[in-house]
Amino acid sequence: MISAERVARRPPKPDDVCAERHYIARCPALSTAMEAAFRFPAGIIRAMAGFRFAARRPMRSLDIRSERFPLARAFTISRGSKTEAEVIVCTIREGGHAGRGECVPYARYGETMASVRSVIEAVRDRIANGIDRQALLGAMPAGAARNAVDCALWDLEAKLSGRPAHLTAGEPAMGPLTTAVTISLGSPEEMAEEARTRADRPLLKVKLGAGDVTERLRAVAGAAPDSRLIVDANEGWLEADIEANLAAAAQCGAVLIEQPLPAGKDAILRKIPHPVPVCADESVHLAGDLPKLKGLYDAVNIKLDKAGGLTTALELRRRARSLGFGVMIGSMVGTSLGVAPALVLAQGADFVDLDGPLLLAADRSPGLVHDGSVILPPEPALWG
């Protein structure tokens, strides 16, 4: 009887070697290490097993692009003005499919176009090796960069599987949504004129600062009497004026007030009446922020760029609802590509503020379809 040890040490027969060499000749991707391993069958088996694993592993490519879109008119809030939307588009390709995600770097959160590109670039190898959305949460910090990658992965998953992103997100159907349309901060006369041109819009978002709050609100309300008003101070109000400003908003029929005071300097909101519901924006990024906001705010504004993508934003929405907060879904000023995944999140929201594409001189193509303030669900060619 021949022992197993002797079989393992037996030199390979000529026919065996020829067969192995013929296989390698047809598979040039096998490493030269296998050529050196021909006299050691066990080494060949291990090398071929590694080759088969590598062949199954999805290899992906990453493209990062900076893009600029002029606005139809200057966009002004309490922190300053802008005349163009600066966005970063992340495209992840696998085979013949491509997934895209867009983000808007935001200076308020310490982000620049260069810094966000750098954060995305840092995970290039992990993207190439097939990182999934859950692993991404530990590989990148929350913020605009992760949003672009996360949304690109959602889109790629939908393209590869043929399953729409909204189904994967747990939304059985996508319906049209009515968005607020923004009135930029200006003089009372300027804001009234802009409101008159948008008086047919059912929901207007009024940007305010520290001064002339009552005058500006009355001007807009008078110019668009049939529109509901959301007031957004972008942290611009003063604690000394907060109660008077809340009362003025209530008198003008406002239905919501966003972030009246700076994040972290809003404790007074726990001590005073809210004649109009108050919504956190800059104060909330992730689900972990919610417990400390109880008693301060009545609602939260969820944005993909703050939360770091649709994956974490869905959890933030779930937690917010469980804690009794109203939900508003907003976005930075960007194109339809940035808004499309937010439409999944916005299904069933109390307020929708996704008018970024409407503020552009020209949106990207293909883009979202609007019927006035109504946004139709995105086509797969755009996202999801």
pLDDT tens-digit map of 302-334: 999 999 999 999 999 999 999 999 999 999 999
Which pair of tokens denotes residue 174?
């996508």
Task: Report the relative pairing of strands 177-178 and 326-330 from DSSP bridges.
Answer: unpaired
Is the domain 61-168 a CATH 3.30.390.10 member?
yes
The pLDDT > 70 percentage for the chain reads 85
Instruction: Give yes or no for residue 358 having a pLDDT over 50.
Output: yes
Q: Are 293 and 283 in contact (CB under 8 A)?
A: yes
Lowest mean pLDDT among 5-9, 98-102, 115-119, 181-185: 5-9
pLDDT of res. 17: 34
Amino acid at 174: M
Beta pairing partners, 207: 232
Q: Are 305 and 149 in contact (CB under 8 A)?
A: no
Find the length of the chain: 384
Sheet holding 254-258, edge to edge: 181-183, 203-207, 228-232, 254-258, 278-280, 299-303, 326-330, 351-353
| Ranges for all domains in the chain classified under CATH 3.30.390.10 | 61-168
Spatial separation of the C-alpha atoms in residues 265 and 62, rounded to whole Å = 40
Cβ count within 10 A of residue 9:
8
Which pair of tokens denotes residue 37?
């391993």
Phi, psi of 136 (to 5 degrees): -60, -30
Confidence of residue 55 (pLDDT cuts 50, 70, 90): very low
Taking residues 273-290, what's their average pLDDT? 98
Angle at 325 between CA 323 and CA 330, to 5 degrees: 130
Residue written as tokens 């139709």? Answer: 376
Q: Is 303 a catalytic residue?
A: yes
pTM for the full model?
A: 0.84
Q: What is the mean pLDDT of the chain?
A: 88
Could you give the C-alpha distances from 298 to 86, 179, 200, 232, 257, in angstroms and in order? 31, 20, 28, 15, 10
Instruction: Give yes or no for residue 384 having a pLDDT over 60.
Output: yes
Q: Is 271 a catalytic residue?
A: no
Cβ count within 10 A of residue 371:
9
| Ranges for all domains in the chain classified under CATH 3.20.20.120 | 177-375
- Choose among 159, 92, 192, 228: nearest CA to 382: 159
- CA within 13 Å, CB half, 39: 1
Task: Report the relative pairing of strands 278-280 and 254-258 from DSSP bridges.
Answer: parallel
Lowest mean pLDDT among 31-45, 270-284, 306-320: 31-45
Spatial separation of the C-alpha atoms in residues 221 and 172, rounded to whole Å = 38
Phi, psi of 335 (to 5 degrees): -100, 180
DSSP per residue over 158-226, as a string? Answer: HHHH---HHHHTT-S----EEPPEEE----HHHHHHHHHHTTT-SEEEEE--SSSHHHHHHHHHHHSTT
Q: Are 325 and 298 in contact (CB under 8 A)?
A: yes
Exactly one of 82, 207, 271, 306 is catalytic; name it.
207
Phi, psi of 155 (to 5 degrees): -65, -45
Taking residues 25-42, what's their average pLDDT? 39
Exactly one of 159, 271, 294, 303 is catalytic; name it.
303
Confidence of residue 53 (pLDDT cuts 50, 70, 90): very low
3.30.300.180, 3.20.20.120, 3.40.50.920, 3.30.360.10: which CATH number matches 177-375?
3.20.20.120
pLDDT of res. 115: 98
Q: Are 290 and 323 in contact (CB under 8 A)?
A: yes
Spatial separation of the C-alpha atoms in residues 195 and 206, rounded to whole Å = 9
- Choose among 288, 300, 351, 350: nearest CA to 325: 300
* Alpha-carbon dihedral 366, 367, 368, 373, rounded to 10 degrees: -140
Instruction: Give yes or no for residue 104 having a pLDDT over 50.
Output: yes
Confidence of residue 184 (pLDDT cuts 50, 70, 90): very high
Taking residues 242-264, what's their average pLDDT? 97
Taking residues 102-109, what's their average pLDDT? 96
Spatial separation of the C-alpha atoms in residues 178 and 212, rounded to whole Å = 29
Q: Are 81 and 310 in contact (CB under 8 A)?
A: no
Taking residues 229-248, what's their average pLDDT? 96
Q: Is the dihedral of CA 178, 184, 185, 188 positive or negative?
A: negative
Q: Are 252 and 221 in contact (CB under 8 A)?
A: yes
Which pair of tokens denotes residue 12?
């390979």
